[in-house]
Every structure is written in structure tokens, then in C-alpha cells.
Amino acid sequence: QKEVEQDPGPLSVPEGAIVSLNCTYSNSAFQYFMWYRQYSRKGPELLMYTYSSGNKEDGRFTAQVDKSSKYISLFIRDSQPSDSATYLCAMSAGLTGGGNKLTFGTGTQLKVEL
């Protein structure tokens, strides 16, 4: 079983819909949580970065972390065709050894249709 589980999709929604993307994890040591967006043939682009539990909002994006359930979510409001991409969750326990080692989900492919 993988440390981080993420539904690969694809997820198809109409323009303007609210999108919910989720990841579950098994390692209780994780305390940093990230969401990245990746367009085809490009590198992951950081969307949200949170520490510990709680909510964080940035424009149309809201990230939620529930450490008691080992569950994180990303909500996208008023979705646009330009949001069509693969969304990756990532998490880490912080500084271990010499660096901050991220563990990624496999990504959820999202398509927002006109």
C-alpha cells in the first residue's frame, strides 16, 4: 500500500463547477502538505502549501487538512477550462536527514469542459 493515495481520475466537470480533489495518507509524521498543478509536458507548479491541520484559501483555491483522518482536500471554485491539468498532492514530515523529502500522490487528471 502506498503512503499517499490519490484517485487518478480522469475527472470531468462543466465550467463554473466546484471541484473537490482529495488525498489520503498513512504516515502520521507528515506535517507539511502541498498541492501542485501540472500541465502536460511541464513541471509541477505550486498551488497551496500548508503546515499541520486547518484550512487555507487563495483566490479560487481552498486547501483543507484533517490530520486526525489523514485526509487532505483541494477545492477549486468557479472552475475554468484553464484549470484542466493534473493535480498532485505532496506531503512531508519536515527536515529529515539533510533535506525535506516529499512523498507525492500519483495525481488526479482534471478536465473542465465549456
Q: Which residues make up the interface to other proteins (CB under 8 A)?
A: 4, 6, 32, 34, 36, 41-46, 49, 51, 88, 90, 94-95, 97-102, 104-107
Nearer to other proteins, 29 or 46 (CB): 46
CB of 114 vs other proteins, minimal distance in Å: 27
CA distance linking residue 3 with residue 27, whole number of Å: 6
CB of 62 vs other proteins, minimal distance in Å: 17
β-pair type (61-66, 11-14): unpaired
CB of 32 vs other proteins, minimal distance in Å: 7
Burial of 74 (0-12, 13-18, 19+ CB in 10 A): buried
Nearer to other proteins, 35 or 83 (CB): 35
- Positive or negative, the Cα torsion across 77, 79, 83, 87? positive
CA distance linking residue 37 with residue 113, whole number of Å: 17
CB of 28 vs other proteins, minimal distance in Å: 18
